[in-house]
């Protein structure tokens, strides 16, 4: 229940202090997105080698993202029912098989299909890692651990395109999939050897239907999820419109756009590191409000710069967007922590639903951002959209998530204790 701090199982306290487990959380979270970015530099080569248009080669990325979204919807509930380890190991086995299929693909349709299954298996780590964090850490530490994992993951994502480009240049594009296959096997071995089962005992009669029913009827869960999902849409929208604004409107090179866009990733990394530092001393609600304040201030400033015509230069546009991204890190990590803490024994289902909505809506918002950037003569439509999303995000906390002091009543405490009886 919202407002209740349920203690993790006693064995989990020992796991929580393990650096090996923390490292496994990072690599299992990162293997799917890093594999996505590693192939991006090789897309022109794929189009040339297979004699296809670049838009067809791009489907090795777009359908990979669809696979990530579907995986989170499937793997989360499975991990609640069958355990974290079996789902992780099964997902990685699928990823290894699909990666081998990528190596031996003879045409682009085969490669695209194999990439879809590669994402479907590999993304199990993304959803299950959040559930494991909720299994082994108390509610007020979940946000800081999610932020720590994301911060380490961000570093890997920053270097993965460079790594993929170097591998392709030296050994050819198929070598990228050799590297991914080896990495997936290493991660699977690490999980098999060093990661014990962390899933909580389930209450009698608990199951997927019951979990989903209780979650979607819980205002706090809906509010936290929508807050997290809307915060992520700021990233997708800005990333979709940014290239058109910088390259087309401002007349800068794509390389310069890449350098400026990296500043937002750096700001997001800083925000996660700050969240790691402040989370142990502050409630997740306070940290969400702090992040929402930064998001709103930064997006409002960017809109004002648009009216004034100042952010027609990249330094103004991206400098202010960095403020948004620092706040965004606080909002996303802490609202995710709130969502998966509503019903801890269904953390996988909660994490999967959140990840699915984030990726699925993100694909649409990326296209929306591209439309705004590509069909406008100024930055005003894009900055107005970012401000609107920031306001919607704040509305979720204001109007949907119940106030903590209201939710923690004696009646609900007794109800929460009854729900916890079967899993303590």
d(CA 306, CA 317): 9
- Is 296 domain-assigned? yes
d(CA 383, CA 378): 10
Both tokens of residue 286? Answer: 């306070």
More confident residue, 11 or 388: 388
Of the pLDDT bands very low, low, confident and very high (cuts 50, 70, 90), residue 408 is very low
Residues 223 and 346 in one domain: yes
Both tokens of residue 377? Answer: 């003569």
Q: Please tell me the predicted confidence (pLDDT) of residue 145.
A: 84
CATH of the domain at 41: 1.20.1250.20
Handedness of CA 128, 129, 134, 136 (dihedral sign): positive
Q: Please tell me the predicted confidence (pLDDT) of residue 416.
A: 42
More confident residue, 245 or 139: 245
Range of the domain at 130: 10-200
Residue 379 near residue 250, CB atoms below 8 Å:
no
d(CA 369, CA 387): 13
**DSSP string of 119-186?**
HHHHTHHHHHHHHHHHHHS-HHHHHHHHHHHHHHHHHHHHHHHHHHHHHHHHH-THHHHHHHHHHHHH
Both tokens of residue 237? Answer: 């929208």
Residues 376 and 286 in one domain: yes
Q: Please tell me the predicted confidence (pLDDT) of residue 410.
A: 44
More confident residue, 91 or 3: 91
Q: Please tell me the predicted confidence (pLDDT) of residue 294.
A: 97
What mean pLDDT is predicted for residues 336-362?
85
Distance of CA 223 to the CA centre of its chain: 17
What average pLDDT does the chain have? 84
Residues 186 and 265 in one domain: no
Q: Please tell me the predicted confidence (pLDDT) of residue 403.
A: 75
Residue 276 near residue 151, CB atoms below 8 Å:
yes
Of the pLDDT bands very low, low, confident and very high (cuts 50, 70, 90), residue 405 is very low
pLDDT tens track for 24-71: 888 998 899 889 888 877 888 888 888 877 778 878 877 888 898 899
d(CA 96, CA 100): 6
d(CA 113, CA 64): 9
Of the pLDDT bands very low, low, confident and very high (cuts 50, 70, 90), residue 16 is low
**DSSP string of 279-297?**
GGGS-HHHHHHHHHHHHHH
Percent of the chain with pLDDT over 70: 88
Burial grade of 315 (CB within 10 A; 0-12, 13-18, 19 or more): exposed
Residue 234 near residue 248, CB atoms below 8 Å:
no
Q: Please tell me the predicted confidence (pLDDT) of residue 396.
A: 95
Q: Please tell me the predicted confidence (pLDDT) of residue 9.
A: 46
Task: For residue 168, count other CB atoms closer than 10 A to its CB.
Answer: 20
pTM of the shown model: 0.75
Residue 117 near residue 98, CB atoms below 8 Å:
yes
d(CA 66, CA 286): 34
Q: Which residue has the tokens 């694909």?
A: 363
- Residue 201 clears pLDDT 50, i.e. is over it: yes
Residues 322 and 189 in one domain: no
d(CA 424, CA 422): 6
Q: Please tell me the predicted confidence (pLDDT) of residue 13.
A: 52
Residues 179 and 225 in one domain: no
Distance of CA 301 to the CA centre of its chain: 26
What mean pLDDT is predicted for residues 273-301?
92
Number of domains in the chain: 2
Handedness of CA 323, 328, 333, 338 (dihedral sign): positive
Handedness of CA 263, 265, 267, 270 (dihedral sign): negative
**Range in 64-68, 243-247, 379-383 with the lowest mean pLDDT:** 243-247
**Range in 102-106, 144-148, 395-399 with the lowest mean pLDDT:** 144-148
- Is 122 domain-assigned? yes
Q: What share of the chain is helix, strand, coil (3-state, %, to 5)?
A: 85, 0, 15
pLDDT tens track for 215-240: 889 999 999 999 999 999 998 888 88
Q: Please tell me the predicted confidence (pLDDT) of residue 202.
A: 58
What mean pLDDT is predicted for residues 316-335?
94
Q: Please tell me the predicted confidence (pLDDT) of residue 6.
A: 41
Residues 144 and 247 in one domain: no
Residues 327 and 392 in one domain: yes
- Is 2 domain-assigned? no
Q: Which residues of 60-86 are buried (b: 16+ CB within 10 A; e: fewer)?
A: bbeebbbbbbbbbbbbbbbbbbebbbe
Q: Please tell me the predicted confidence (pLDDT) of residue 104.
A: 95
Q: Please tell me the predicted confidence (pLDDT) of residue 255.
A: 67
- Is 84 domain-assigned? yes
Q: Please tell me the predicted confidence (pLDDT) of residue 15.
A: 64
More confident residue, 332 or 410: 332
Residues 217 and 318 in one domain: yes
* Contact residues for 267 (Cβ-Cβ < 8 A; gap 6+): 321, 322, 323, 325, 326
Q: Is 33 helix (H, G, I), strand (E, B) or coil?
A: helix
Residues 139 and 66 in one domain: yes
pLDDT tens track for 136-174: 887 777 878 888 887 777 777 777 877 888 898 889 999
- Is 4 domain-assigned? no
More confident residue, 387 or 361: 387
**Residue at a domain's end among 140, 168, 200:** 200
pLDDT tens track for 263-278: 888 899 899 889 888 8
What mean pLDDT is predicted for residues 19-24?
85
d(CA 404, CA 284): 11
Q: Please tell me the predicted confidence (pLDDT) of residue 189.
A: 95
* Contact residues for 144 (Cβ-Cβ < 8 A; gap 6+): 275, 276, 279, 280, 333
**Range in 49-58, 123-132, 174-183 with the lowest mean pLDDT:** 49-58
Percent of the chain with pLDDT over 90: 36
């Amino acid at each position: 229940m919202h407002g209740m701090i349920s203690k993790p199982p006693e064995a989990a306290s020992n796991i929580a202090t393990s650096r090996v487990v923390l490292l496994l959380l990072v690599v299992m979270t990162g293997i799917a997105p890093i594999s996505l970015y590693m192939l991006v530099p090789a897309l022109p080569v794929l189009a040339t080698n297979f004699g296809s248009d670049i838009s067809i080669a791009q489907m090795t990325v777009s359908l990979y993202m669809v696979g990530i979204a579907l995986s989170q919807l499937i793997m989360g509930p499975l991990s609640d029912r069958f355990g974290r380890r079996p789902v992780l190991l099964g997902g990685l086995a699928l990823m290894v098989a699909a990666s081998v299929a990528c190596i031996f693909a003879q045409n682009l349709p085969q490669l695209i299909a194999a990439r879809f299954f590669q994402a479907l298996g590999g993304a199990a780590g993304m959803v299950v890692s959040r559930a494991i964090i909720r299994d082994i850490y108390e509610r007020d530490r979940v946000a800081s651990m999610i932020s720590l994992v994301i911060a380490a993951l961000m570093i890997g994502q920053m270097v993965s395109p460079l790594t993929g480009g170097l591998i392709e240049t030296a050994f050819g594009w198929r070598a990228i999939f050799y590297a991914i296959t080896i990495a997936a096997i290493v991660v699977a071995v690490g999980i098999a050897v060093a990661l014990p089962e962390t899933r909580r005992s389930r209450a009698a009669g608990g199951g997927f239907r019951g979990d989903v029913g209780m979650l979607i009827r819980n205002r706090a869960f809906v509010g936290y999820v929508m807050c997290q999902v809307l915060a992520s849409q700021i990233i997708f929208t800005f990333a979709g419109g940014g290239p058109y604004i910088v390259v087309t409107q401002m007349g800068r090179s794509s390389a310069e756009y890449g350098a400026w866009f990296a500043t937002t990733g750096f700001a997001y990394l800083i925000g996660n590191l700050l969240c790691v530092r402040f989370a142990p001393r502050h409630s997740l609600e306070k940290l969400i409000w702090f992040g929402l304040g930064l998001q709103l201030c930064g997006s409002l400033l960017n809109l004002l710069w648009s009216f004034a015509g100042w952010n027609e230069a990249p330094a103004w546009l991206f400098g202010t967007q960095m403020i948004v991204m620092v706040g965004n890190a606080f909002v996303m990590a802490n609202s995710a922590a709130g969502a998966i803490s509503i019903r801890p024994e269904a953390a996988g289902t909660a994490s999967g639903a959140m990840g699915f909505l984030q990726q699925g809506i993100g694909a649409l918002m990326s296209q929306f951002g591209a439309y705004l950037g590509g069909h406008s003569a100024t930055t005003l439509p894009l900055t107005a959209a970012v401000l609107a999303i920031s306001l919607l995000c704040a509305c979720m906390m204001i109007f949907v998530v119940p106030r903590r002091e209201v939710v923690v009543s004696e009646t609900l405490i007794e109800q929460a204790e009854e729900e916890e009886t079967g899993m303590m």
